[in-house]
Chains A and B, each alone.
Chain A
Amino acid sequence: MSGHHQHGGGTAEANVGLTRFAVVGSPNSGKTTLFNAMTGLHAKTGNYPGVTVARFEGRVRLGEQTVVLEDLPGTYSLDPISPDEQIVVDVLDTEHHNTRVDVPDALLVMLNATTLRRSLGLLAQLLQTGLPSCVVLTFTDDLARRRGSLDVAALSRAIGVPVVPVVAGHRDGVEALREAMAEHRSWATPVVLPPTDTAEVTAWVDSVLAAADYSLPDLDHRTRRIDAVLLHPVAGTVIFLLTMFVFFQTIFTVAAPLQDLVGQFFGWLGELVAAHVHIGWLSAFLSEAVIGGLGSVLVFVPQIVLLFILIALLEGTGYLARAAFLMDRVMARAGLEGRAFVALLSSVACAIPGIMATRSLPSANDRLATMMGAPLMTCSARLPVYILLVSMLLSADQRVGPFSARGVVMFVLYLLGAVAAMTAAAFFKRLTSRGVPLLPFYMEMPPYQIPRLRTVAAEVWTAASAFLRKVSSIILATTVLLWVLLNLPLRHDAELAAAGVDTSNEAAVSAYVLDHSYAASVGRGIEPLFEPLGFDWRINIGILSSLAARETFVATLGQVAAAQTPEDPASSLRTMRVQSGPSAGRILFDAPTIAALLVFFMFALQCMSTVGVMRRETGSWRWPAIAWMYMFVLAWVLAFVTRTAVAAVW
């Protein structure tokens, strides 16, 4: 932690002293494609200090020397209106330099040949920084296909800096750029800097376009024909819903068997260790805490890989902008924009990919607001908890009209989760936008493209490796800590026998160990806090253990109840009674308590993996701490209200 604070997520320390190139350009200028083509799998992600803006950096070999390439956030202007754009300005500000970010030695300015008029305005601002610059001209193939034209050499003369055309998927352009980068010390600089006054900038752009013999490309008929279908009020809506259905199914259903495989592998590994290590506690520690913990980290990898394949495809084809266009009106109600929909939808599978999906949002405030709401969506880990509690609350044959009452309650839980997530996002969007003028909404509709395999692969790799490097330690630490709490102090057979426990009955032994563990002490210690909700120390142990993963609650409760049938803990739980206190003798899992538990799990951030990934995406502990606190308070208050209400009517 300590050293990392100075250098945004720790991506920079190792690169001190190397020549730094910054890639600057508007969204859809081919910036990310170029960055991935140059750095491949050597890219690292981190965060800029203090803000929710991801930082991408990678090393590139140029013959003998190694240089650093930094992919700055996409921007249309150096007059910032968002934290992401402010970062670009801070990094490029050579005069009042912010010491927490490294100033680049040279710029690679991305210009999209098909939107050259608009792109030159940004170039005019970038040349004002006085940094050595080289223009990377992209989409010249599109320009030719749409019968536009441009004289590259004349463009270079007109703006006064080198221009290298690079076409995605063609290595020769990238090679030419490498050669140009190696010579960055001798790059031409403009004799006269472009103007700053808006009217003069327009005149400068006109003169550059005229000098470069630029002719405007035709309309992109291919894109127009595809849009006629994909944005059609009826067909477009149906295709959108189908796309989102497939998207969700992939993360939810296709990932499940892969996750099971990961789970089984670590289960097998754990047994293997247990069979070869004969010191009881060590064997349990290694197999359950360490290997189990590793398993609980890697179990997320299939979802993350699938999610980023899908997002890279949606983004790479240009469909993400269309989906956002279709959904914008709905998301605008929460103060967000259309693209936040994908993140919230992913959160129904799991908040981990959901929070990582916020990367596709261009505005830092939108990312933060979406992250604050996303964990409230009903994720798949809540499902086993809900199923257990709902089955204890209602019998299978109870009906609401023609529907099973259990089904109705489950539906309501999902619905409330979505409403809560949107409301929380709207609240945090308002909170973070206080005092700043409302940002104008605009979204470029890029022409459709065929996504590059290399770009997809690089994005998936970057996301998965960043997750493993930055989040695994948090998840592993949580698992180990909880194991210690739930299993220590150690009990010897003699002690167990003295307490009247049948040492040959594993369920009885584990129940005794758990009932007298540190976790039990914690559970008893926090009893006054949860007593108003009807939870006793045994439920508190379950809540504590669910911090590792919500579904652990079910197993822990089963263990607490010394269930003879671990697959069906509900039956033994139903008969449990409160042991002490004012309500001693009451059935522990009565309807008000179950309802309160359901509401508690709906709102509480009982998932350290989510906290960890939030820490990683926002770059500090501040936002995960705020998220955990607000959700806990919300969960407690609403669970109390629910308990009181249910107790009154039941």
Chain B
Amino acid sequence: MSRRRLASGSEVDTPTTVTLADLDRAQRAKVVGYGDEVAGSTARRFFDLGIVPGIEVTMVRRAPLRDPVIFRVGDYEIALRAAQARCIHVELVS
């Protein structure tokens, strides 16, 4: 897959950290965690929105102006801006 953006966090992660923002249409991934830059309150909100480690996420579609992007999270669909999508680390599901 194309690696347009790398996670901006400076964690000791391998440079191949994949985030929700990297997903192409219809691509599926499993949430592994949040970036270090994510504030505690935002992390809690991701959790309350059901974006929890282990949950499967599918990229549904991009807005005509490229941002935001609709994701299917578990049993519902939610639109996130790239700024938030970049904070959510995932691993691809083949």
Specify which of A76, A115, A202, A325 is in contact with B79 (CB 8 Å cutoff).
Answer: A325
Judged by a CB distance under 8 angstroms, whether B6 is at the interface is: no
Binding site for B on A (CB under 8 A): 76-77, 79, 81, 114-118, 121-122, 198, 202, 216-217, 219, 227, 231, 233-234, 236-237, 321, 325-326, 328-330, 332, 437, 440-445
Task: Give the contact-size bracket for chain B.
Answer: 20 to 34
Residues in A whose Cβ lies below 8 Å from that of B74: 117-118, 216
A380 CB to nearest B CB, Å: 30
B71 CB to nearest A CB, Å: 9
Q: Is the interface of B mostly helix, strand, loop or mixed?
A: mixed
Tell me the complex Cα distance, A76–B44, Å.
Answer: 11
Q: Which of A202, A216, A437, A440 has the largest count of B CB atoms less than 10 A from its CB?
A: A440
Tell me the complex Cα distance, A614–B65, Å.
Answer: 33
Tell me the complex Cα distance, A634–B24, Å.
Answer: 47
16 contacts between A and B (CB under 8 A): A77-B44, A77-B48, A79-B45, A79-B48, A81-B45, A114-B75, A115-B50, A115-B75, A202-B52, A231-B61, A237-B64, A325-B63, A442-B49, A444-B77, A445-B70, A445-B77
Tell me the complex Cα distance, A329–B65, Å.
Answer: 7
Binding site for A on B (CB under 8 A): 39, 41-42, 44-50, 52, 54, 61, 63-68, 70, 72-81, 83-84
Known: A117-B50, A118-B74, A328-B79. Contact between A440 and B45, CB under 8 A? yes
A160 CB to nearest B CB, Å: 21
Known: A77-B45, A117-B50, A237-B64. Contact between A444 and B78, CB under 8 A? yes
The answer to whether B76 and A118 have CB atoms under 8 Å apart is yes
A179 CB to nearest B CB, Å: 30
Known: A118-B76, A441-B80. 9 other contacts (CB 8 A): A114-B76, A115-B75, A117-B75, A198-B44, A233-B64, A236-B64, A321-B79, A326-B65, A440-B80
The answer to whether B39 and A437 have CB atoms under 8 Å apart is yes
Residues in B whose Cβ lies below 8 Å from that of A445: 70, 76-79
Tell me the complex Cα distance, A219–B74, Å.
Answer: 10
Tell me the complex Cα distance, A443–B81, Å.
Answer: 9
Residues in B whose Cβ lies below 8 Å from that of A325: 63, 68, 70, 79
Tell me the complex Cα distance, A121–B54, Å.
Answer: 16
Residues in B whose Cβ lies below 8 Å from that of A326: 63-65
The answer to whether B75 and A217 have CB atoms under 8 Å apart is yes
Residues in A whose Cβ lies below 8 Å from that of B44: 77, 79, 198
The answer to whether A328 and B75 have CB atoms under 8 Å apart is no
Residues in B whose Cβ lies below 8 Å from that of A440: 42, 45-46, 80, 83-84
The answer to whether A115 and B76 have CB atoms under 8 Å apart is yes
Specify which of A79, A118, A234, A329 is in contact with B75 (CB 8 Å cutoff).
Answer: A118
